[in-house]
Chains A and B, each alone.
Chain A
Amino acid sequence: MLIGVSGTAGAFSREVLREMCRRCERPILFLLSNTTTKAECTAEQAYEGTDGKAIFASGSPFPPLTRADRLFVPGHCNNMYIFPGVGMAAVSCGATRVSDRMFYVVARTPAEQVGEDSLSVGRLYPDLAHIREISARIAVAICEVAFEEGVAGSERPDDLDAYIRACSIPTMCPTRRPDPGSSPQGA
């Protein structure tokens, strides 16, 4: 497994990828240097250099690609799967601290949302289209930790899940109504 945090494009050369392939069945490549111009190699180079065996994810997303009629969807390994849920949790339960343990607890949450359909195209992270669902689950898990650690600023609601969902913006656009207290052409 190679984790790239060097910010040096081209650091994972063809030789490096070949050597990875020689030593293991499925080389894991996590390229966390942002943006795509700083990634240690491109998704294309990774798949080509490993004959399509690489399990690939990058901090900045690479577009899907097709090689020999096979679809590869590069994973997007980014904190954006986590931080909106963390923020929502902290805000909704009024947490006074965001602890390291909260992050350990939720690190697995996105993984639980990865289905067979994702794995079959080599994707380790869930589809972004489910981000609201992922964030809601993360927020629930973090609120649980906050109540446990006693850093929450509010009482624990009976139905935490429903509470979190009620704290987020409605999917329906609100009707704008003149405030009864303001003048008819006040502005």
Chain B
Amino acid sequence: MAQPIKHHHLDSLDDPVLPVFKRGRDLLTDPMLNKGTGFPDSERDALGIRGLVSPQVVSIDDQVSRAMENFRRQEHDLDRYIFQESLHDRNETLYYRVLPSNIRELTPIIYTPTVGKACSHFGHIYRRARGMYFGAAELPYFEEMVRNWPEEEIDIVVVTDGSRILGLGDLGANGMGIPIGKLSLYVLGAGIYPYRTLPVMLDLGTGNRALREDPLYLGERRERLRGEGYYEAVDAFIRAVHGRWPQALIQFEDFSNDHAFPPPEPLPRPHPLPQRRHPGHRSCRPGRHPERHAYHRRTARRSARGFPGGRLRRPRHRGHAGRGDDVGRGAQPGAGQRPHLDAGQQTAGHPRLPGNTRRAQARLRPGRRAVDRSKSM
């Protein structure tokens, strides 16, 4: 009989224990691991949290009451959405505890109809990066970008190109609210592990002129990719995701009818797993693709310093969107360029990584997840 594999990091389901690498404030600022005032004394002592939260240990039920009290103080649905999603970005333990006990009140906020309003105003109510963005200008780099995601395992990817959000039409990158909301429902409805979900915006431009002229719009300010270029981008995206997480389910959501129906060509099977090229590989030598060369040199260097797979674990340096980085890449002016892949910049001005080698080595031990995260209800 097949064994359940989804909770391999938990000791048991009756008395689940989750080993964590993070300590202190790093733990409190990781929404996946944070319990806020709910950390019991034993965990406060063991994880260096004592003094960083108020002394009273608050039960999860009381935390839920407080969250709902604050939620109900909001006057408009859009404010309720902002409140609820801020909780999502702060403390997922609590978020997924609040949802089931107030499901009839909260689903119309995190999902249709309020999520539609939230998408219409996405660039204006934006708080923190969540999920991944793949822009048309970044097309050659999708496979590298997908490695920036910090989780080793993903079960479900929900992707939209924002071309037909609910009945509201083309909302471009503002459509990101939809994959986020859908995945909340996957967790709420079926108990998918939240850290194994990935909301994605495939930002191939927008036909919505008002959005393109909105200074706070977060997407690429260009006309939509059409025809062959469009399918090329979708194909590159699928290959990138499939290459890193061959088991992941990809759900396409809210694509406009002209693109929703022709099925994507099936991937050749078995799909070869992408090999990390050795930095000495001819494709990495200067001359052919200077910018790629820089990229591989950087990843190779990081790899040597103990970052598995040379993934970009500290995207903050580049102002690149990632968890914990409030300055989303799309938020910068001139988002159509590729600031983070500029060759000269990277070889010359790349900051040294902090010499936290013990943690780095701990990450490298065989059979261990890089940063064990999980949360549950």
Stretch at the interface among B110-118, B203-211, B214-222, B299-307: B110-118
**Do residues B43 and A169 form an inter-chain contact, with CB atoms below 8 A?**
no
Is B189 among interface residues, defined by CB-CB distance under 8 A?
yes
Residues of chain B in range 1-49 having any CB-CB distance to chain A below 8 Å:
1-2, 4-7, 10, 13-27, 33, 35, 38-40, 42-43, 46-48
Cα A91 to Cα B66 with chains together (Å): 34
Name B191's contact: one of A132, A134, A173, A180 (CB within 8 Å).
A132
Asked whether any CB of chain A lies closer than 8 Å to the CB of B159, the reply is no
| Contact-residue bracket for chain A | 35 or more
Contacts of A88 on B, CB cut-off 8 Å? 186, 190-192
> With A34-B112, A87-B251, A186-B23 as given contacts, are A168 and B190 in contact (CB-CB < 8 Å)?
yes
Which residue of the partner chain, among B2, B35, B48, B192, contacts A154 with CB atoms under 8 Å? Answer: B2
Give 1 or 0 for each of B349-362: 1 = CB within 8 Å of chain A CB.
Answer: 00000001011001
A155 to B362 Cα, complex, angstroms: 34
Contacting pair A182 B359 (CB below 8 A) = yes
Q: How far is the CB of A20 from chain B (nearest CB, A)?
A: 22
- Name A167's contact: one of B4, B15, B356, B358 (CB within 8 Å): B4
User: Measured between C-beta atoms, what is the minimum distance from B233 to chain A in Å?
Assistant: 23
B155 touching A91, Cβ below 8 Å: yes
Min CB distance, A161 to chain B, in Å?
12
B9 nearest in chain A by CB position? A174
Q: Give the residue of A35, A129, A134, A173 whose beta carbon is less than 8 angstroms from that of B113.
A: A35
Chain B residue at minimal CB-CB distance from A36 = B113
Q: Which residue from A91, A131, A135, A159 sits with its C-beta under 8 Å from B156? A: A91
Report the minimum CB–CB distance from B265 to chain A (whole Å).
14
Instruction: Establish whether residues A135 and B190, one from each chain, have CB atoms under 8 Å apart when the complex forms.
Output: yes
CB of A54, distance to nearest CB on chain B (Å): 20
Q: Does A185 contact B (CB under 8 A)?
A: yes
Tell me whether B104 and A175 are in contact (CB under 8 A). no
CA distance A180 to B21 in the complex (A): 9
**Residues on the B chain within 8 Å of A87, using CB:** 155-156, 186, 190, 192, 249, 251
B side interface size, CB within 8 A: 77
Are B103 and A181 interface neighbours, CB within 8 A? no
**Contact residue among B24, B47, B190 (Cβ-Cβ distance under 8 Å from A176):** B47
Are B377 and A139 within 8 A (Cβ)? no
Among B126-134, B277-285, B288-296, B368-376, the one that faces the other chain is B368-376
A131 CA to B377 CA, complexed, in Å: 15
Decide if A35 touches B167 in the complex (CB within 8 Å). Answer: yes
Contact between B116 and A172, CB atoms less than 8 A apart: no
**A97 CB to nearest B CB, Å:** 9
B185 at the interface (CB under 8 A from A): yes
Interface centre among A84, A128, A172 (most CB of B within 10 A): A84
Q: Judge if B107 is at the interface, Cβ distance under 8 Å.
A: yes
Chain A residues contacting B188 (CB-CB under 8 Å) are: 84, 131
Is B247 engaged at the interface, CB distance under 8 Å to the other chain?
A: yes
Q: Any chain A CB within 8 A of the CB of B168?
A: yes
Pick the residue among B17, B104, B187 that contacts A174 (CB under 8 A): B17
Within A140-178, which residues are at the interface with B (CB < 8 Å)? 153-159, 163, 166-178
> Which of B24, B247, B249, B365 interacts with A187 by CB under 8 Å?
B24
Residues of A contacting B247 with CB < 8 Å?
Answer: 91, 94, 153
Cβ B359 vs Cβ A35 within 8 A? no
Among A36, A169, A187, find the residue whose CB has the most chain B CB atoms closer than 10 A: A169
A49 within 8 A of B: no
Most chain B CB atoms below 10 A, which of A83, A157, A185: A83
The smallest beta-carbon distance between A69 and chain B, in angstroms, is 22
Closest-by-CB residue of A relative to B97 is: A173
A131→B189 contact, CB < 8 A: yes
Q: A176-B27, A176-B47, A177-B46 are in contact. Are A183 and B362 (CB under 8 A)?
A: yes
25 contacts between A and B (CB under 8 A): A34-B113, A35-B112, A36-B113, A78-B112, A83-B251, A84-B188, A84-B190, A85-B189, A87-B249, A94-B247, A132-B100, A135-B190, A159-B1, A166-B6, A166-B13, A169-B376, A172-B14, A172-B16, A173-B38, A174-B10, A175-B18, A177-B19, A181-B365, A187-B21, A187-B26
Interface residues of A (CB under 8 A from B): 7, 33-38, 59-61, 78, 80, 83-85, 87-88, 90-92, 94-95, 98, 128-129, 131-132, 134-136, 139, 153-159, 163, 166-187
